[in-house]
Amino acid sequence: MESPKQFDFINGELLLVDKPYGWTSFDVVNSLRYTIKKGLGIKKIKVGHAGTLDPLATGLLIICTGKLTKQIETFQGQDKIYVGSMHIGETTPSYDKETEVDQKYDTSEITNEVLDSTVKSFIGEITQTPPIYSAVKIEGKRAFEYARKDDEVKIKSREVIISEFKLLNYKLPEIDFLVHCSKGTYIRSLVNDFGKAMDNGAYMSGLRRTAIGEFSVNDAHEVEELKEIIKLSLANQG
C-alpha cells in the first residue's frame, strides 16, 4: 500500500480542492484549517485561498498553508478557465440564481448568428463592473452587504482580458459556454453584459472553474476526501 503524503503545513503546502456547490471559499478554508490544527495539535496556522469562487459555483480552489500563504497573490494573478451555463431571456439582480428573476425578454429574434457575433465582441480587453452581489470591498464593507439592504452603491469598473469565449451549444434558453480569462474577471458580469449586448437579458445558471494557470481541477480532491488524506498523513507523522 502506498504511503500517505508527508505534509509540512507550517513551511507551506499547496492544496487543490474541488469546491462543492453551496460552499463559500471561506467554508473550505475553515474546514481544512480546523482539520490541520487538530491533526497537528496547535491553536493557530495560516490557511488561505487564491481566488474566490461564489457559493453557487464549483471547481478548482487553490489553498495555501503556512509560509506559502505569502505567495497567494502569485496564484491569484494567473489566468483562469471556466465552463458554465447561462439562461437567456431573463435577468436577476445578482446575475445568477441567488436572487429571483426581475425582468423577462422575448428571445424569438436571437439567432445563432446573433449569438456568434455577440460572443466575438467580448474577446480581448473589455471593461466590466463587478456585480453588486459580490465580495468586492467598498469603504471597508463587502458589496453584497449593501445589496442585501438595498443601499445604493457605486462599484468601480475594471479592465479584464477575455482570451477565449465560446458557446458550446445553441439550445435557448440554456446555453453552455467556456471562458478563458484574466485575473479579476467576473463571469456573472460577462454573462449579464452578453445579454445586454443583444438588447436582451441573461443570467448565469451554472459555473465550474476548471483551471488556474497550470493547475487543473482534474488534479483536485473533494473536501472530505482531502481531509481524510490530511488526517491519515498527520496521524502517521505523529
pLDDT in tens, 190-207: 999 999 999 999 999 999
Q: Alpha-carbon torsion 188, 191, 195, 196, what sign?
A: positive
In order of their start, the domains of the chain are 14-76+215-237 (3.30.2350.10), 80-212 (3.30.2350.10)
Name the grid cell of 162: 477575455
pLDDT in tens, 32-90: 999 999 999 999 999 999 988 989 999 999 999 999 999 999 999 999 999 999 999 99
Question: What pLDDT is stored for residue 238 in this prediction?
Answer: 58
Phi, psi of 143 (to 5 degrees): -55, -40
pLDDT in tens, 5-28: 789 999 999 999 999 999 999 999
Asked if residue 2 has pLDDT above 60, the reply is no
Q: Give the CA angle between residues 195, 198, 200 to the nearest 5°.
A: 55
The strand pair at 14-19 and 221-222 is best described as parallel
What are 62's strand-pairing partners?
16
Residues marked active site are found at 54
pTM above 0.75, yes or no: yes
- Tell me the mean pLDDT in the region 143-147: 59
Spatial contact of 229 and 63, defined as CB atoms under 8 Å apart = no
Spatial contact of 230 and 32, defined as CB atoms under 8 Å apart = yes
